[in-house]
């Protein structure tokens, strides 16, 4: 059974290009859902009338974020493994915020020029500005663009991993996390503990755990505890599909979905993640897959509200499928621009700056947290005479010891790799 985890040279590093491609597939599904699978203000009518056949398929694209969460569980745990907490936090900040800031500003400008949804009236400038923090939901403030909701869920997952990192990320602790997180979250939701449920996100916890457990399978192989926890979380995800996604689709997309189809879709997503990480597909070296993966995050951020505004302008004068092609191409071009002009130059700089400052804070923490471990030698008061200097040989030894001590203090840095 342990041979399942031997997925080739990338098992302990390297780029999983097939996983990059899977991320883009998830983003494409979400784009298709927002443009053709759910009713939106762009077309001036129901998408069921504009795309009577296509919409029956793309209504399932709303499941894309659940696939994102599974991929995130795998990839973010892989990123956190063996890293210091400052390094992990900095990597997440540098990865998420530059493109997100651009998306907030771009969407706000689009809504100011073409108010396809009344966000300016709902949020005002203070609410839109608060969106730049990514924690607006904590204040009860809505999102400038509806797709931003997943980032609030992701942030909680990152905090959970960072807290685990303070204790040390180990296989045993991760297995315990994948048992307690979804179970305690579900119990909190059932008991009406809204704060605990909001922190633990029981609706999405099983999907993150599936990704983390598959990472453990890749690293250590499949064993009984990991397999049992995978089964638990898959069953939890299946229940989420029935209890949450089916009614959500009716309320948000304006159309129902089949539970049988959702079950097949869930297992297809899990199978695709397994194939991309635990089979020979993990050794694919097609660089265009990584390019597609790099466009995933900015495409996800910028497509919805700006896309609806563009559809609203073009739909009255062009055929629906032409409008769909033009708007999708425009979203890809904007995503490429955000990646090349914003993410690539600013992301690494922001990551390095955050990591450097967090490491400095970690360096200073022991000096301010409590009493020193050893008493420092008392200094003479200004009115006192200095002590008689020792013999020259001793003075030389003391000087060397003092220099060595100062060098040790200067060299004591928190690892940032």
pLDDT in tens, 219-231: 999 999 999 999 9
pLDDT of residue 362: 77
The DSSP secondary-structure symbol of 413 reads -
Contacts 24+ apart (CB under 8 A), 252-260: 252/38, 252/62, 253/33, 253/37, 253/38, 253/39, 253/59, 253/62, 254/38, 254/39, 254/46, 254/47, 254/48, 255/37, 255/38, 255/48, 255/55, 255/59, 257/59, 257/60
In a domain, 336, yes or no: yes
In a domain, 278, yes or no: yes
In a domain, 61, yes or no: yes
Residues 31 and 331 sit within 8 Å (Cβ to Cβ)? yes
Among 15, 143, 155, CA closest to 72: 155
pLDDT of residue 406: 37
Reading the block at residue 259, the tokens are 């539970």
pLDDT in tens, 170-188: 999 999 999 999 999 999 9
In a domain, 324, yes or no: yes
The three-state secondary structure class of 42 is coil
Domain count, the chain: 1
pLDDT in tens, 346-355: 999 999 999 9
- Round to whole Å and give the CA distance between 204 and 193: 17
In a domain, 265, yes or no: yes
- Round to whole Å and give the CA distance between 28 and 299: 9
DSSP character string of 207-249: HHHHHHHHHHHHHH---HHHHHHHHHHHHHHHHHIIIIIHHHI
User: 116 lies in which domain range?
Assistant: 2-360
The DSSP secondary-structure symbol of 192 reads T
In a domain, 376, yes or no: no
- What is the mean pLDDT of the segment spanning 317-328? 97
- What is the mean pLDDT of the segment spanning 277-303? 95
pTM (two decimals): 0.84
pLDDT in tens, 120-144: 999 999 999 999 999 999 999 999 9
Place of tokens 């983003």: 27
In a domain, 32, yes or no: yes
Among 167, 162, 161, 142, CA closest to 152: 142
pLDDT of residue 14: 67
Q: What phi and psi values does residue 43 have, to the nearest 5 degrees?
A: -85, -10
Q: What phi and psi values does residue 377 have, to the nearest 5 degrees?
A: -65, 140
pLDDT in tens, 19-69: 999 999 999 999 999 999 999 999 988 999 999 999 999 999 999 999 999
pLDDT of residue 15: 83
The three-state secondary structure class of 64 is helix
The pLDDT-based confidence of 365 (bands split at 50, 70, 90) is low
* Torsion angle, alpha carbons of 102, 91, 290, 157, to 10: -90
Q: What phi and psi values does residue 286 have, to the nearest 5 degrees?
A: -85, 110
Give the CA angle between residues 134, 140, 144 to the nearest 5°: 50
In a domain, 304, yes or no: yes
């Amino acid at each position: 059974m342990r041979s399942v985890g031997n997925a080739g040279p990338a098992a302990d590093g390297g780029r999983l290009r097939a996983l990059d491609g899977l991320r883009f597939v998830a983003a494409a599904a979400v784009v298709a859902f927002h443009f053709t699978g759910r009713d939106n203000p762009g077309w001036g009518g129901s998408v069921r009338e504009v795309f009577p056949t296509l919409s029956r398929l793309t209504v399932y694209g709303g499941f894309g974020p659940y696939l994102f969460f599974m991929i995130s569980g795998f990839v973010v745990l892989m990123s956190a493994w063996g890293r210091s907490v400052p390094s992990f936090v900095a990597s997440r900040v540098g990865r998420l915020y530059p493109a997100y800031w651009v998306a907030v500003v771009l969407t706000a400008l689009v809504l100011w020029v073409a108010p396809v949804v009344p966000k300016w009236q709902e949020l005002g400038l203070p609410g839109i500005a608060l969106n730049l923090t990514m924690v607006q939901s904590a204040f009860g403030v809505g999102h400038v663009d509806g797709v931003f909701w997943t980032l609030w869920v992701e942030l909680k997952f990152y905090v959970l991993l960072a807290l685990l990192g303070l204790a040390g990320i180990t296989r045993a602790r991760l297995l315990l996390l994948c048992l307690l997180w979804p179970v305690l979250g579900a119990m909190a939701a059932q008991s009406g503990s809204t704060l605990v449920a909001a922190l633990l996100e029981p609706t999405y916890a099983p999907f993150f755990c599936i990704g983390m457990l598959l990472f453990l399978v890749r690293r250590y192989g499949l064993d009984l505890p990991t397999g049992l926890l995978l089964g638990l979380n898959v069953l939890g995800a299946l229940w989420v599909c029935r209890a949450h996604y089916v009614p959500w689709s009716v309320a948000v997309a304006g159309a129902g979905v089949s539970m049988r189809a959702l079950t097949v879709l869930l297992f297809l997503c899990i199978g695709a993640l397994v194939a991309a990480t635990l089979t020979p597909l993990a050794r694919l070296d097609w660089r265009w897959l990584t390019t597609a993966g790099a466009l995933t995050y900015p495409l996800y951020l910028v497509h919805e509200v700006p896309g609806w505004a563009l559809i609203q302008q073009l739909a009255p004068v062009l055929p629906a499928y032409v409008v769909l092609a033009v708007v999708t191409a425009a979203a890809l071009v904007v995503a490429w621009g955000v990646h090349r002009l914003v993410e690539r130059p600013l992301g690494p700089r922001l990551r390095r700056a955050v990591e450097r400052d967090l490491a400095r804070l970690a360096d200073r923490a022991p000096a301010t947290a409590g009493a020193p471990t050893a008493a420092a030698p008392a200094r003479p008061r200004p009115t006192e005479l200095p002590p008689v200097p020792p013999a020259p040989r001793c003075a030389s030894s003391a000087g060397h010891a003092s220099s060595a001590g100062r060098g040790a203090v200067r060299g004591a840095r928190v690892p940032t790799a």
